[in-house]
Amino acid sequence: MKCFLKNSLIIALVMAFVHSQAQEKDLVKFVDPLIGTAKMGHTYPGATAPFGMVQLSPDTDTIPFAVDGKYNPDVYKYCAGYQYDDPTIVGFSHTHFSGTGHSDLGDFLLMPTTGKLQLNPGTASNPDAGYRSRFSHKNENAEAGYYQVKLEDYNINAEFTASERVGMHQYTFNADDENHLIFDLTYGIYNYDGKNVWTFVRVENDTLVTGFRQTNGWARTRTVYFAMSFNKPIKNYGHQKNGKQTYNGFWRKFDQTKNFPEMAGEKIRAWFDFDIQKGEKLKVKFALSPVSTEGAIKNMKAEVPHWDFEKLKQETQQNWNKELHKITVEAGNEKEMTNFYTAMYHSFLGPTIYDDVDEKYRGLDQNIHQAEGFDNYTSFSLWDTYRAQHPLLNLIQTERNNDMIKSMLAHYDQSVHSMLPVWSHYANENWCMIGYHSVPVIADAIINETSKFDEERALEACVQTARTRYYDGIGSYIDLGYVAEDKSGASVSKTLEYAYDDYCIAQIAKKLGEDEIYAEFKKRSENWRNVYDRSIGFMRPKLSDGSFLKDFDPLNTSQRGFIEGNSWNYSLYVPHEPKEMIQLMGGEKQFSQHLDSLFTMELPDKYFEHTEDISRDGIIANYVHGNEPSHHILYYYNYMDQAWKAQEKIRLILNKMYNPSPAGLGGNDDFGQMSAWYIFNSIGFYPMAPASGQFMLGSPKVYKADVKLPNGKQLHIEAKNQNEKNVYVKSVTLNGKAITNGVITFKELMEGGELVFKMSRKPNK
């Protein structure tokens, strides 16, 4: 009997192991970083670890931010540095944003060349005039954590991989000619004269170079340190300074142009030569630090102490596989699998780690701080990501999301304004977009009981931020109950978003028993009513005298009162009080017809031709999916017993706005928000109002999904009778119990179990 039990146990263990091995699929193979690299500069292909500080990627042109002192619209396409249709590569820089509508970064560009030394990048129309090279997508390969391309003009095979803080280059020289490595510290994304404040390069020895770059861009006081190491000794090196420098001190004693170990200036292009035979590889390790060159060296020694390119690539791809396995799905075909895991990949590109391996980082006050027990993060595109990306992270990346919130609270402590981040990166607040959307991220963690930070202190930070009268119309919002358009622009958008943020503060206060704060912000959360014009049925800009703005067109996306949206879409931004909004707008019958028309009417080009962030490829009728304020809208149908209408539209959007191609996203990915929307809706639910503790049920696109929860439990999702035509949900059960109200709570999801959708070709009315 004992022997039988022992053998049974062995068999069970073997079967469990086989099962676990079967579950650990190579999901990296479904990731295509080239998706969304065209049109509006959505994303970058390249080598990065999950949430990595280093985003090592090709840059395909040197488009200036301004021409003849005026903004150059073409620069918008290069937000991520890479355009799929470009025929040349300028080089490979180490920092990028993923699909943001504005940009910065592009630090420390390296470019290997052969033949005559050229220190000018040349132009796309005349690449031979500079160091850039032609390339072909036939000789290009992009994977999670790896990028490869052949530089045709030099017959060089360029490969890249990265850890969190270190990028690794591998260049195979196939021409028997002089070789050079160009190091361009002048290059940057969204570049202009004066953006480079100062650069410094120090040749420590024949294989190690250190330095820093300080820029004045979107982040106006940004300093990044580096350490660059080579696997071969430097033979010769030098640099060229561009632009005039009035004062040179007594450095004029030296010939600084060649083999002089210190380089400093606003615009520097350096070069390094090596003894490399045909077929040999030059390897470069490039570490970043927000603190110091010493910190960069520590990062390099800790993360990549070796020269084994394949080992680092495999380790990084294993890390990607680990992250991608947070949700494993079965879908109808490889196209759907590629869409899903590319969306997962995009959602895990940022926010990015912003500290050294010893947890030191540069703070908002420009001093060096020590993160106590957490990793510091930067690049918070909160106007976008509070809607779905942070709720996704709170669900499946809880520890990271907590570290991000702790980073926000550290930002608050260091802020001279005593405010939480609005849109922050690299120890700077750039104040981009509107609202105070750190608040819903914090509230979502507190309400859903995943927080591992001081909740009372967090509430204090939220309240203080929301009471900062001199910030972006908050004074008139407090005094009048709305932002007055003659006091602060984009007034309707601000009023609506402030009202939602205030709802989140009220939810925190209620949970923590702070009754006075709850009453104050519950009242403020109803301010959305104050910009609704009953006579026309739309939200409308209001002046400080109480009158509505004249000459108003609810279809126009570039008129006063709104930012990155029109009144048709923004009037539906009341995610925290949907039933109240429906009643105010005429009741269910009238509102249903109104909502139907959003998805059937025409939005002529003239209404968005002057709005950069809105383009035809992101629009269905008048529904603007390519921009975030509309992402929750279709779930209003769930509040009118018409969930079937939401279900068919979810499938329409998933099919039309997301495709595995270079132009495959219907708008900027916005640091993962567009992708997070796809992930949630593919598995069947969506956080219409983060911090409510609820998800709205939709129409899953995958056949099955297993969600690994941070508490060790697992949620198994299955869509029975699933296919492209069966878009309607006949019934939903959670652990055998029917769900009839179209809602599932965060708490229910965290208990795990089985969520089963029965799909049908006919709507369940």
For the chain of 765 residues, list the mean pLDDT of each consecutive stretch of 10.
Answer: 38 36 76 90 91 98 93 93 97 96 95 97 96 98 98 98 98 94 97 95 98 97 98 97 84 92 96 96 98 98 98 98 98 96 98 98 98 97 98 98 98 98 98 98 98 98 98 98 98 98 98 98 98 98 98 92 94 98 98 97 87 86 93 97 97 96 92 97 98 98 98 98 97 97 97 98 94
pLDDT of amino acid 248:
81
Residues near 516 by Cβ (< 8 Å), separated by ≥ 6?
A: none
- CA-wise closest residue to 626 among 135, 269, 244, 99: 99
CB 648 within 8 A of CB 728: yes
Distance CA 699, CA 643 (A): 9
- The CATH number of the domain holding residue 86 is 2.70.98.10
- CA-wise closest residue to 286 among 44, 28, 48: 48
The reply to whether 132 falls in a domain is: yes
pLDDT of amino acid 41:
65
The reply to whether 198 falls in a domain is: yes
Q: Which domain holds residue 191?
A: 29-322
C-alpha distances out from residue 54 to 38, 212, 343, 363, Å: 22, 15, 20, 19
C-alpha distances out from residue 162 to 144, 342, 343, 503, 580, Å: 10, 18, 20, 41, 50
Residue identified by tokens 């590889």 is: 281
SS3 at position 726: coil
pLDDT of amino acid 23:
47
pLDDT of amino acid 613:
80
Residue identified by tokens 């652990």 is: 735
Distance CA 186, CA 194 (A): 10
Q: Which 3-state string (H, E, C) describes 663-678?
A: CCECCCCCCCHHHHHH
Residue identified by tokens 């429906």 is: 582
CB 134 within 8 A of CB 127: yes
SS3 at position 338: helix
The reply to whether 704 falls in a domain is: no
Distance CA 460, CA 158 (A): 50
- CA-wise closest residue to 240 among 292, 179, 312, 180: 180
Distance CA 743, CA 734 (A): 11
The reply to whether 380 falls in a domain is: no
Structurally, the chain folds into a number of domains equal to 1
Pairing of strands 753-760, 714-720: parallel
Chain CA centroid to CA 463, Å: 26
The reply to whether 162 falls in a domain is: yes
CB 92 within 8 A of CB 57: yes
Structure-token pair, residue 287: 């570490």
pLDDT of amino acid 350:
96
The reply to whether 93 falls in a domain is: yes
Q: Is the pTM of this model over 0.85?
A: yes
The reply to whether 116 falls in a domain is: yes
- CA-wise closest residue to 657 among 624, 629, 683, 687: 624
CB-hemisphere CA count at 13 Å for 455? Answer: 19
The reply to whether 20 falls in a domain is: no
Distance CA 745, CA 504 (A): 17
Give start and end residues of each alpha helix (H) in 171-237: none
